[in-house]
Chains A and B, each alone.
Chain A
Amino acid sequence: MARLTLREAITAALREEMQRDETVFIMGEEVADWGGTYAVTKGFLEEFGERRVRDTPISEMVIGGAATGAAMAGLRPVAEFMTINFAFVAFDAIINHAAKVSYMFNGQFDCPVVFRAPGGGGKQLGATHSHTPDVIFAHFPGLKVVCPATPYDAKGLLKAAIRDNAPVMFIEPVPLYTSPKVRGEVPDDDYVVPIGVSDVKREGSDVTIVTYGEGLHVSLDAADELAKEGIEAEIIDLRTLQPLDMAPALESFKKTFKAVVVEFGHQTYGIGAEIVARIQEEAFDYLDAPVKRVAQFDVPAPYSGQLEKMALPNAEKVVAAVKEIL
């Protein structure tokens, strides 16, 4: 057992899977010589050689497409988009190809590709480099979408993603990469966290907070604040956005009768909209109050730090949302 940062956990998963399975390899911009722009694959070139750690040109379309083709032919590529913002350029390869080849050809082809995509805002990178666009990838059947919030989940989910025969979009919240607060226990032994299983991260009886990724940590902070006032929040970490496991959230809601959804993506048509819809469809009789959403405001990310912060969720906003419905 070691205490790792989220980034160290991701690096450990990649290293162990490459050691375990010769068909696993890494391709992407700056993954080899540079060691990854976020240093996730630092030292991998020396350890695994240039056959298995492959720098690509700045060509997201072919990164997405060639990784898909190699996966269909039986390899297990981990293709890194330097940031999720650049995955937009590869949207067709991911959605029209990786996510469709199994169904379109009647199950003839597997597509065991992992698209690693560091994402999230709050770093003053401006409107085009600060997206949390997770929901749009989760909209399409055929692509699994995963977003871990703890080092334990990150390592276990990435291993599961690499071993999965379906294409997986593996979204990594950059603001959590090196956060000391997020650092956590990670077993040295091999383990996987199954894709498509939500998790209760904090137990409570007064309100259910449904969240994932960065939202988990904001929600945990909010729960600490609320606890000071005797309000116990139960926090559900979705971990996987597609396929979505609503069971723990619904179970919790049927106990608390109140819910808040916290996400770092934009509010309109967001993850929260889906969660709210599911709650009213599947637990209508338990509704005691409107289900609230705390999300990024519907505005392009401003450069100025003060403005950018205003647009993003934080613990205060979550506390306020909870108090509104209690």
Chain B
Amino acid sequence: MDKETLLDWYRQMVLIRRFEEKADELYQLEGKIKGFLHLYIGQEAIAVGSIAARDPHDHVITAYRDHGHALAVGLDAKNVMAELMGKATGVSGGRGGSMHLASKELRFWGGYGIVGAHISLGAGLALAEKYRETDKAALCYFGEGATNIGYFHESLNLAGVWDLPILFICENNKYGMGTAVDKASANPSIAGKAKAYNIPAKTIDGMDIFEVYNETKKALDAIRKGKGPRLLEMMTYRYEGHSIGDRTRYRSKDELDEWRDEKDPIALLQNHLLTEHDVSEKELTQIQDEVDAEIEEAVAFSDESPLPEPDTLFDHIYPENGEVR
């Protein structure tokens, strides 16, 4: 992997983290973001590493913790922040909010708020590629908490019987809201659940961006060759609560410290860059400063952006061209 690529990964991961820290502040201190807000801090290596491994025509679809994926597919932080602030310039025009970011152009089909439901949409995206006989795939992200709902099982089963070109990516951060995985899953191995449907699956380190990238690449290669669906269980940790207002009483501070201090995905990549690629501290500081400026710009842009016009309230209930063609 060349240095330029790794520095870009680093920049993306820092961007996601700073974006989330700023969103948290805008929500809790300034009241500029309302509703639900699910932060991606700690899980950055997964969105950045796996999306780096996709072909730009592959589909991406995820759950409600979607800011990281939105930024990793290439959405501008300005329009993502504006969406969080409910502005007309937001990626979903202020109609979606934090959980419903999307970009048709970037083949990012959205964040979704009903746990597990979008896994079935992902199967549909993959079906469209299979139907058209392309070599494109769908990358479908969800938490381990989503693997106990019917949607997950029905979608894996359908992907199996129809040989759909889909990569299921389970971001296993150990807790579905506040319920630990072993309290919720009779089989706490998500890879194990996939194997029940004869879907090849692997559990990997989701904090290590190299492993995420390499395993995603391998899985997508197999899928492109028509070998059917794959599942990757990526072990990770969210440093913040499930959403704003969650005081994480269900887990210990020691556990959090262990992940944050010893396995942090940004620190891991940073060390690698410093020791293996002759990158200087100064270069990394410069990237951080650039990201900070980008975030400030995103906030200023969002502040200045107009709210959606009242006369647009009823727009898009049906697709624009929803009439008979």
- Interface residues in chain A, defined as those with a beta carbon under 8 Å from any beta carbon in chain B: 25, 51, 54, 56-57, 59, 61-62, 64-75, 77, 92-93, 96-97, 101-112, 141-142, 144, 160, 163-166, 192, 194-195
A68-B121, A107-B316 known; A164+B154 contact, CB < 8 A: no
Instruction: Tally the A-B contacts, defined by beta carbons under 8 Å.
Output: 155
- Chain A residue nearest to B150 in the complex (CB): A61
- Asked if B128 and A106 sit within 8 Å, CB to CB, the answer is no
In the assembled complex, the Cα of A163 lies from the Cα of B321 at a distance in Å of: 10
- Chain A residue nearest to B109 in the complex (CB): A72
The reply on B250 being an interface residue by CB < 8 A is no
- Asked if B316 and A106 sit within 8 Å, CB to CB, the answer is yes
Considering residues A62, A97, A101, which has the most beta carbons from chain B within 10 angstroms of its beta carbon? A62
In the assembled complex, the Cα of A182 lies from the Cα of B61 at a distance in Å of: 46
A61-B120, A62-B158 known; A106+B322 contact, CB < 8 A: no
For B, the interface residue count at a CB cutoff of 8 angstroms equals 49
Q: Within the complex, which residue of A62, A96, A142 is in contact with B123, where a contact is CB–CB below 8 Å?
A: A62
Interface residues of B in 77-125 (CB under 8 A from A): 91-96, 100, 102-104, 109-110, 112, 114, 117-125
- Asked if A142 and B317 sit within 8 Å, CB to CB, the answer is yes
Shortest Cβ gap from A206 to chain B (Å): 35
- Asked if B324 and A195 sit within 8 Å, CB to CB, the answer is yes
Residues of A contacting B100 in the complex (Cβ-Cβ under 8 angstroms): 104-105
In the assembled complex, the Cα of A62 lies from the Cα of B149 at a distance in Å of: 12
In the assembled complex, the Cα of A194 lies from the Cα of B323 at a distance in Å of: 9
- Asked if B114 and A73 sit within 8 Å, CB to CB, the answer is no
- Asked if A97 and B117 sit within 8 Å, CB to CB, the answer is yes
- Asked if B96 and A104 sit within 8 Å, CB to CB, the answer is yes
The reply on B270 being an interface residue by CB < 8 A is no
In the assembled complex, the Cα of A108 lies from the Cα of B151 at a distance in Å of: 24
The reply on B315 being an interface residue by CB < 8 A is yes
- Chain B residue nearest to A54 in the complex (CB): B162
Q: Can you offer 19 A-B residue contacts whose CB atoms are under 8 A?
A: A57-B161, A59-B158, A61-B151, A62-B158, A64-B120, A65-B119, A66-B158, A67-B124, A73-B128, A75-B127, A77-B124, A102-B318, A102-B319, A109-B104, A110-B321, A163-B325, A165-B323, A165-B325, A192-B324
Considering residues A160, A163, A164, which has the most beta carbons from chain B within 10 angstroms of its beta carbon? A164
Residues of B contacting A104 in the complex (Cβ-Cβ under 8 angstroms): 92, 95-96, 100, 110
Interface residues of B in 301-325 (CB under 8 A from A): 315-325
In the assembled complex, the Cα of A151 lies from the Cα of B117 at a distance in Å of: 36
Residues of A contacting B102 in the complex (Cβ-Cβ under 8 angstroms): 105, 108-109
Residues of A contacting B316 in the complex (Cβ-Cβ under 8 angstroms): 102-103, 106-107
- Asked if B151 and A62 sit within 8 Å, CB to CB, the answer is yes
